[in-house]
Amino acid sequence: MQKFINTNDLIEMEKQERVHLINSLGGFKSVCLVGTKNKANQTNLAIFSSIIHIGANPALIGIIFRPAAYERHTLDNILETKFYTVNHINEDIYMQAHQTSARYDKVLSEFDATGLNTEYKNDFFAPFVKESHIQLGLNFKQKIDLEINNTVLVIGEIIQIYFPENCQNADGFLDLEIAQTITCSGLDSYHKTKKINRLSYAKTDKVLTTI
């Protein structure tokens, strides 16, 4: 049976039920750990699932941050230092990754709290997550306040990329399953994937083929 929910139903819905439902509706999501450090060398690590590809040239990624009513250590550090890392999550570290969402005091690093390790390389300011298989170093570019609900879109340029050599296909594509990257749904559900197919570039007069 198909269930139908409209705006009035959403308004009347218990808050947590609405949060779980609406967070499920966007489908499977990218889930990553964002690593930062403030000028006093205090590190921070936080899990985000609101990550979006914005463009390939320049290489841009966007992240949505929640309203200013909450403490946002990651955002503060990005604005203060301009550099941050985005680290893919694999099955070995998903519980530690989820645990970073607990409200640790600002002076306690989530690296220390969860046992994940910092990694510094190629003079990049912010800490990578050593246990992550695909690691990106980003340079802050733009902050856009979304007044509609007081969230913030932060756009950064990817300036360093690390990935396992054996996961790259000849055409540039990364096989994220070889890199063991996982995905999430809703607020708290983690999933492995199984490839169905890679499809050829769609044309109006050609049948799709497997790449």
Question: Is the CB of 68 or the CB of 144 nearer to a second copy?
Answer: 144
Kindly state the tokens that stand for 99. 């645990």
What is the DSSP secondary structure assignment for residue 25, as one 8-state letter? H
Find the binding residues for a second copy in span 79-98 (CB under 8 A). Answer: 88, 91, 94-95, 98
Is the alpha carbon torsion for 9, 14, 20, 23 positive or negative?
Answer: positive
> Interface with a second copy includes 42 (CB under 8 A)?
no
Instruction: Please say which residue, 5 or 68, places its beta carbon nearer to a second copy.
Output: 5
What is the 8-class DSSP label of residue 33?
E
* Binding status of residue 101 toward a second copy by CB under 8 A: yes
Binding mask 120-149 vs a second copy (x if CB under 8 A, - otherwise)? --x-----------x-x----xx-x-x-xx
Residues within window 144-203 making contact with a second copy, judged by CB under 8 A: 144, 146, 148-149, 151, 153, 155, 157-166, 168-169, 171-174, 176-177, 181-183, 185-203
Which residues make Cβ contacts (< 8 Å) with residue 139, sequence separation at least 6?
82, 83, 156, 157, 159
* Closer residue to a second copy (CB): 39 or 102: 102
Q: How far apart are CA 38 and CA 29, in angstroms?
A: 28
CA angle 103, 87, 68 (to 5 degrees): 40
3-class DSSP assignment, residue 118? strand
Nearest to a second copy of 54, 79 (CB atom): 54
Give CA–CA dist 56/115, Å, rounded.
Answer: 33
Please give the size of the binding site for a second copy, defined by CB under 8 A: 110
Residue 39 or residue 56: which is nearer to a second copy going by CB?
56
Contact call for residue 39 and a second copy (CB under 8 A): no
